Amino acid sequence: MTLAPPPPRTAAPAAAPPEAGSAPRCADAEGTWEAPEHYSLAATWFPLQRGDGDPSFAPHPGGLWAAFATPEGPVSLLATHQRAPGRPGTVTVRAWGDGAASAVALAPAMLGLHDDWSAFDDAAFLAGLPRLVRETRRRHPGFRLPATGRMVEALVPTILEQKVTTLEARRAYRYLVRRYGTPAPGAGQFAPAGLMVAPDARAWLGIPSWEWHRAGVGPQRSDTVMRALRSAAGIERLAARTAAEASAALQSIPGIGVWTAAEVTQRTHADPDSISVGDYHLAHFVGYALTGERTDDHGMLRLLEPWRGHRQRIVRLLGLSGVRAPRYGARITIQDHRRH
């Protein structure tokens, strides 16, 4: 799980907009919604991006580009946030491609606009929180938990992150998306060059073993992807179920445990309570942030128990707090398999 706050957005050379980042005047579909006070689009979408080099995202002045698949087809989506002094800000989404209408219809959930913090922000609840969490909430009132509803899109990169460093997993994901994904609608014309739609289930299933090897993905993880995506249609239907039901169903697939299921439902369902138990650093970090001492998964769950129902919100706020726990683990040598 990535806990660091969103870094300043910089465009990767392969995904630079063709000129000034402008979009065409007429989108295939668009919508505008009132944004919550102090809303932050960058912070809300930060968990959805697999690093700054994620080919499915690109920066835009005042917003972000995203490319993804819908049941109706691929879409390039541009979300922008406008602030107006003394008035509520607005978020505008413009979309191009066969999936444009579907993407706009689902945009409020993806933008985190359905994520309700009213119970968390109640004065009585805030009073029971550690000072660090209260102060971080005060300094970062604008981030929301996004709900994409796109199960396969969230599941595959999460499986790639099992038991390896974030750097290794993201490098593998970039390689595979660029090689087996499809150009986003309008990429290199009005959308950023290099903007890609991640492979669909059929494309993931068609990746040969030697390409997984070149990407640095071992058989255990690639086999888990293949095993899960043979039931891709059923996995996608989990978006309509509760986060708890989706988590339990995912964990019935060999190779998918509580950590993977939590990382998925945090993104697909905006699950405010799921905890990534089994993460290499998370328990140590939460323990250090709340008590000044490292702890294990059991200790982390014990510390967070008083705020059950909002534990994921607490973890996200701790990640934004600026606290960094010292790391004592052995250094891992990262190998590049792509030329072997």
162 pLDDT higher than 50: yes
Q: When comparing pLDDT for 18 and 287, which is higher?
A: 287
Statement to judge: residues 246 and 187 lie in one domain: yes
271 lies in a domain?
A: yes
Q: Residues 188-211: what's their mean pLDDT?
A: 97
334 lies in a domain?
A: no
Q: What per-residue confidence (pLDDT) applies to 68? A: 98
Q: What per-residue confidence (pLDDT) applies to 87? A: 73
Task: Name every residue whose Cβ is closer than 8 Å to that of residue 213 and which is 6 or more positions away in sequence.
Answer: 337, 340
Indicate the pLDDT class of residue 7, thresholds 50, 70 and 90. very low
Burial class (CB within 10 angstroms; exposed 0-12, middle 13-18, buried 19+) of 264: buried
Indicate the pLDDT class of residue 323, thresholds 50, 70 and 90. very high
Indicate the pLDDT class of residue 335, thresholds 50, 70 and 90. low
272 lies in a domain?
A: yes
Q: Residues 175-183: what's their mean pLDDT?
A: 98
Total domains, the chain: 2
Task: Name every residue whose Cβ is closer than 8 Å to that of residue 105 and which is 6 or more positions away in sequence.
Answer: none
Alpha carbon 140 to its chain's center: 18
Q: Residues 36-52: what's their mean pLDDT?
A: 93
Rounded-to-integer distance, Cα 147 and Cα 246, Å: 13
Beta bridge partners of 65: 58, 78
Statement to judge: residues 210 and 303 lie in one domain: yes
Statement to judge: residues 59 and 172 lie in one domain: no
Domain extent at residue 63: 13-114
CB 193 within 8 A of CB 16: yes
Residue type, 269: H
| Backbone angle region of 213, left / alpha / beta, with phi > 0 → left and psi within -120 to 50 → alpha | alpha
Tokens representing 6? 């969103």
Beta bridge partners of 90: 34, 82
Q: What per-residue confidence (pLDDT) applies to 88? A: 73
23 lies in a domain?
A: yes
Q: What angle do CA 153, 158, 176 make, to 5 degrees?
A: 65
Question: Model pTM?
Answer: 0.89
Q: What per-residue confidence (pLDDT) applies to 71? A: 95
Q: Residues 247-256: what's their mean pLDDT?
A: 98
Q: What per-residue confidence (pLDDT) applies to 5? A: 44
Residue type, 185: P
Instruction: Tell me the CA end-to-end span of the chain in Å, nearest whole number.
Output: 29
336 pLDDT higher than 80: no
How crowded is residue 166: how many other Cβ atoms within 10 Å of its Cβ? 15
Specify the DSSP class assigned to residue 306. G
Give the three-class secondary structure for 102: helix
Q: Residue 89 sits in a domain of what CATH number? A: 3.30.310
88 lies in a domain?
A: yes
How crowded is residue 244: how many other Cβ atoms within 10 Å of its Cβ? 14
Q: What per-residue confidence (pLDDT) applies to 326? A: 82
Statement to judge: residues 161 and 296 lie in one domain: yes
13 pLDDT higher than 70: no
Q: What is the mean pLDDT of the chain?
A: 90
Tell me which of 114, 140, 170 is where a domain ends: 114
Q: Residue 269 sits in a domain of what CATH number? A: 1.10.340.30
Min mean pLDDT across 212-221, 276-285, 328-337 is at 328-337
The tens digit of pLDDT for each residue in 205-221 reads: 999 999 999 999 999 99
Tell me which of 93, 114, 135 is where a domain ends: 114
The tens digit of pLDDT for each residue in 141-154 reads: 999 999 999 999 99
Phi, psi of 301 (to 5 degrees): -65, -35
Cα dihedral across residues 46, 308, 161, 279: positive or negative: positive
Q: Residues 195-210: what's their mean pLDDT?
A: 98
Statement to judge: residues 239 and 305 lie in one domain: yes
143 lies in a domain?
A: no
How crowded is residue 154: how many other Cβ atoms within 10 Å of its Cβ? 23
* E strand or H helix that includes residue 223: helix 219-229
CB 41 within 8 A of CB 81: yes
Statement to judge: residues 95 and 222 lie in one domain: no
Tell me which of 114, 136, 160 is where a domain ends: 114
Indicate the pLDDT class of residue 3, thresholds 50, 70 and 90. low
14 pLDDT higher than 50: no
CB 227 within 8 A of CB 156: no
Statement to judge: residues 50 and 192 lie in one domain: no
Give the three-class secondary structure for 187: strand
Q: What per-residue confidence (pLDDT) applies to 85? A: 74
137 lies in a domain?
A: no
Indicate the pLDDT class of residue 12, thresholds 50, 70 and 90. very low
